[in-house]
A and B are shown apart, each in its own frame.
Chain A
Amino acid sequence: MSDKVQSSAWFSDLISGLVFYGVILPAGLVRRLIKALRPRAPSDTFWIARQPDKDANSMTRQY
Chain B
Amino acid sequence: MTSILGISAFYHDSAASLVVDGAIVAAAQEERFTRRKHDERFPSNAVRSVLQIGGVALKDVEHVVFYEKPLLKFSRLLDTYLDAAPQGFPTFRRAMPAWLGGKLFQKRIIHDELKRIDPGFVDASRILFCEHHLSHAASAFFPSPFEEAVVLTLDGVGEKATTTVAIGRGSKLDVVRELHFPHSLGLLYAAFCYYLGFKINSGEYKVMGLAPYGVPRFKSLILEKLVDLKDDGSFRLDQSYFDYATGVKMTNARFASLFGQPVRRPDADLLTDFHMDMAASIQAVTDEIVLRLTRSLAREFQIPNLCLAGGVALNCVANGKVLRDGAFKRLWIQPAAGDAGGSLGSALAAWHMKLGGQRVPAARDSMRGSLLGPEFSQDEIERQLTGLKAEFEIMPTDRLVDTTAAALASGKAVGWFQGRMEFGPRALGGRSILADPRSDQMQKTLNLKVKFRESFRPFAPSVLSTKVSEWFELDVDSPYMLLVAPVKESRRREMTAQEAAMFGIDKLNVRRSEIPAVTHVDYSARVQTVHPDTNPLYHALISRFEALTGCPVLVNTSFNVRSEPIVCTPSDAFRCFMGTDLDMLVVGNCVLQKSAQDMTLAVDYRNEFEPD
Interface residues of A in 30-63 (CB under 8 A from B): 31-32, 44-50, 52-53, 56, 59-63
Name the prevailing secondary structure of the A interface residues. Answer: helix
Closest chain A residue, CB of each to CB of B160 = A48
**Chain A residues within 8 Å of B354, by CB:** 56, 59
Interface residues of A (CB under 8 A from B): 12-13, 16-17, 19-21, 24-25, 27-29, 31-32, 44-50, 52-53, 56, 59-63
Name the prevailing secondary structure of the B interface residues. Answer: mixed
Known: A20-B93, A27-B82. 6 other contacts (CB 8 A): A20-B89, A28-B85, A50-B177, A52-B174, A52-B175, A62-B72
Given A28-B81, A44-B232, A61-B178 contact (CB < 8 Å):
no
A31 to B84, CA, bound (A): 11
Q: Give the distance to chain B from A27, nearest Cβ to Cβ, in Å.
A: 6
Interface residues of B in 161-210 (CB under 8 A from A): 164-165, 174-180, 183
A3 to B550, CA, bound (A): 72
B178 CB contact (under 8 Å) in A13, A21, A50: A50
A62 CB contact (under 8 Å) in B69, B93, B353: B69
Given A61-B129, A62-B107, A25-B85 contact (CB < 8 Å):
yes
Q: Give the distance to chain A from B346, nearest Cβ to Cβ, in Å.
A: 9
**Chain A residues within 8 Å of B81, by CB:** 20, 24, 28
Interface residues of B (CB under 8 A from A): 65, 69-72, 75, 78, 81-86, 88-89, 92-93, 96-97, 106-107, 125, 128-130, 164-165, 174-180, 183, 228, 230-232, 234-236, 349-350, 353-354
Among A25, A46, A60, the most chain B Cβ lie within 10 Å of the Cβ of A46
Given A28-B82, A50-B178, A60-B128, A44-B93 contact (CB < 8 Å):
no
**Chain A residues within 8 Å of B177, by CB:** 47-50
Q: What's the count of A-B pairs with C-beta under 8 Å? A: 97
**Chain B residues within 8 Å of A48, by CB:** 177-180
A62 to B105, CA, bound (A): 10
Among A21, A44, A53, A62, the most chain B Cβ lie within 10 Å of the Cβ of A62
Given A16-B97, A60-B128, A45-B72 contact (CB < 8 Å):
no
**Chain B residues within 8 Å of A20, by CB:** 81, 85, 88-89, 92-93
A24 CB contact (under 8 Å) in B82, B128, B129, B174: B82
B231 CB contact (under 8 Å) in A12, A44, A53, A59: A44
**Chain A residues within 8 Å of B96, by CB:** 16, 19
Give 4 closest A-B pairs by Cβ, nearest first: A52-B174, A46-B234, A63-B71, A28-B82
**Chain A residues within 8 Å of B89, by CB:** 16-17, 20-21
Q: Give the distance to chain B from A40, nearest Cβ to Cβ, in Å.
A: 11
B180 contacts A59, CB within 8 Å? Answer: no
Closest chain A residue, CB of each to CB of B63 = A59
A2 to B177, CA, bound (A): 50
A61 contacts B69, CB within 8 Å? Answer: yes
Q: Give the distance to chain B from A21, nearest Cβ to Cβ, in Å.
A: 7
B234 contacts A47, CB within 8 Å? Answer: yes
**Chain A residues within 8 Å of B230, by CB:** 44-46
